[in-house]
Structure 1
Amino acid sequence: MATAHRHTHKEHEGEALAEAAKRSLEEQGERWTGMRAEVFDELAKHSRPVSAYDIAENLSKQRGSRVAPNSVYRILDIFVRGNLANRIESANAFLVNSHPGCRHDCIFLICDDCGAADHIDDDRVTGALREAGRDAGYSDVRPVIELRGLCAECSR
């Protein structure tokens, strides 16, 4: 991931990531069910944004029984609200948040060629957008910023 500009946090991976996600969700009053754990684990396997349909298909294969994409979407919505995952709006796909429990707005960088996604944490930019929204009379403003281009690997 890209380095933070004015915001620092602890990045988690592997079992520590799943445990941080579970703890964060439970602290928000949500339950960490077996299905939620499976969806989170599947999401965490992907370094690129993944769709709910792909997650449902992979879980169906693992379980040997059909997992409905609508069920996965509902869980992913809980994860996004709970800051365990980020939604890449332009791709209708999701990316695990490697620092659950840390509230801030990411600026996503998405490669138009390979689909890789990275993020920058710059609270100066997102804070200014939140303030502009509040100044316009909006509450509960959530900036969604996606920059598209070519990653370093694809631009060679």
Structure 2
Amino acid sequence: MAGHHHHHDFAGEKLVKAARDALVEAGEQWTEMRADVFEALAARDRPASAYDIAEGVGTRRGKRVAANSVYRILDLFVRTNLARRVESANAYVANSHPGCRHDCIFLICDLCGKAVHIDDDSLTGALRQAAQGAGFAEVRPVVEIRGHCSECASGE
């Protein structure tokens, strides 16, 4: 498939290290709070809201964490490619390959909420070209496809 390539997806401690390295390389600091937010996000198997993350980090730290602080960190993570935002759900997922930049296509299950992302630059490239042809700059395609995941579709 043109525009599609394979890259290494990280998980667990390797994902946290890859995220930390990518953030530092982008000129940002890897603080304890940023580490806690990233770890809480990466531990989830579904897109999470800033409130979900704030609650998890607050429980872990034993004190309330403001959702506004978490939003700022998540926005930084999206800008630096550590996380992706599922626009229609106002939720976030950790990017399992933070060193590799692609436009992301989300497949979102309407039944269980699972979000799978695929990278296919040939598809998003056409969107990018159309937007640039219409005079847009700094184009960032956001593609979300809704339906039923294989588990839900098979009735499991």
* TM class by smaller structure: over 0.9
Q: Report the equivalent of 1:21.
A: 19
Aligned 1:1-156 pairs, distance under 5 A? 6-156=4-154
Q: Is the 8 A contact 2:108 2:116 kept in 1?
A: yes
> How much does 1:7 deviate?
2.3
CA distance in 2, matches of 1:52, 1:140: 25
> How much does 1:5 deviate?
6.1
> How much does 1:4 deviate?
9.5
Count of equivalent residues: 154
> How much does 1:43 deviate?
0.2
Q: Which amino acid aligns with 1:146?
A: E
Structure 2, gaps ≥5 residues long: none
The superposition leaves residues 89-110 of structure 1 with CA deviations (integer Å, 9 ceiling, x where unpaired) of: 0000000000002111111000
Q: Which amino acid aligns with 2:66?
A: A
Secondary structure of 1:22 counterpart = helix
CA distance in 1, matches of 2:2, 2:75: 25
Q: Is the 8 A contact 2:107 2:116 kept in 1?
A: yes
CA distance in 2, matches of 1:115, 1:4: 29
Secondary structure of 2:44 counterpart = coil
Q: Would you identify which runs of 4 or more consecutive aligned residues in structure 1 move more than 6 Å?
A: none
Q: Which has the higher contact order (CA 8 A, sep 6+)?
A: 1
The share of aligned pairs that are identical, in percent, is 63
Structure 1, gaps ≥5 residues long: none
